[in-house]
């Protein structure tokens, strides 16, 4: 995983799912909690936006660590975006917004991109995973039945593939864990690359 000089990392994310996935990998980590503005710039593609947000989180996390005189450890950040017809959807603002998203998804597919940045001193690299998610045809009643559970709240695109929403998904073309919020293979490879560059 990591060499003896790097036995722990910081996860700069409030997502409990990402914390669970790092734990699943057997990685020793501590969480950093802070906020940065997340606004799509005019003319910015979803891919560029996701990568930029990840890098900005990494820079903010590094500064957060320095300002508080915390132990110097690698900073891992991630950003997940659900995209439908080139539009970044974000988290639903309310029930009606979530219904709008699900009505679009039903019988169609949406793209999920998750970017990951690993930063440690001069080492900084960002990689993005892209996955397609295909939904069943759904009636309005079925959508309302799902939304009534509240499972959609605080989730990009108003769903989490690992939760109740999974039963409505026909298939995925890509990385399941990236759709959850953290592509494990990318994290593993980034840590390996860091270890080969930092002795």
Q: Would you please indicate which residues are annotated as catalytic (active-site) residues? A: 79
Report the DSSP beta bridge partners of residue 60. Answer: none
- Helix 184-197 and helix 16-25: axis angle, to 10°? 60
d(CA 5, CA 120): 12
d(CA 197, CA 199): 7
Cβ atoms of 190 and 9 closer than 8 Å: no
| Ordered alpha helix ranges (H), 26-76 | 46-67
């Amino acid at each position: 995983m990591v060499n003896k000089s790097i036995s722990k990392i910081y996860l700069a994310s409030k997502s409990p799912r990402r914390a669970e996935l790092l734990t699943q990998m057997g990685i020793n980590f501590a969480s950093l909690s802070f906020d940065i503005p997340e606004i799509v710039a005019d003319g910015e593609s979803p891919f560029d936006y996701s990568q930029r947000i990840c890098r900005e989180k990494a820079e903010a996390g590094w500064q957060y660590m320095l300002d508080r005189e915390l132990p110097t450890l690698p900073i891992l950040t991630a950003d997940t975006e659900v995209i439908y017809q080139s539009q970044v959807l974000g988290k639903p603002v309310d029930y009606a917004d979530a219904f709008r998203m699900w009505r679009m998804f039903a019988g169609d597919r949406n793209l999920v991109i998750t970017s990951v940045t690993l930063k440690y001193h001069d080492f900084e690299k960002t990689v993005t995973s892209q996955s397609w998610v295909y939904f069943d045809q759904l009636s309005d009643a079925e959508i309302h039945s799902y939304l009534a559970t509240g499972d959609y709240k605080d989730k990009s695109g108003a769903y989490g593939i690992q939760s109740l929403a999974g039963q409505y998904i026909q298939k995925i073309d890509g990385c399941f864990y990236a759709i959850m919020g953290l592509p494990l293979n990318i994290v593993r490879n980034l840590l390996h690359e860091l270890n080969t560059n930092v002795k």
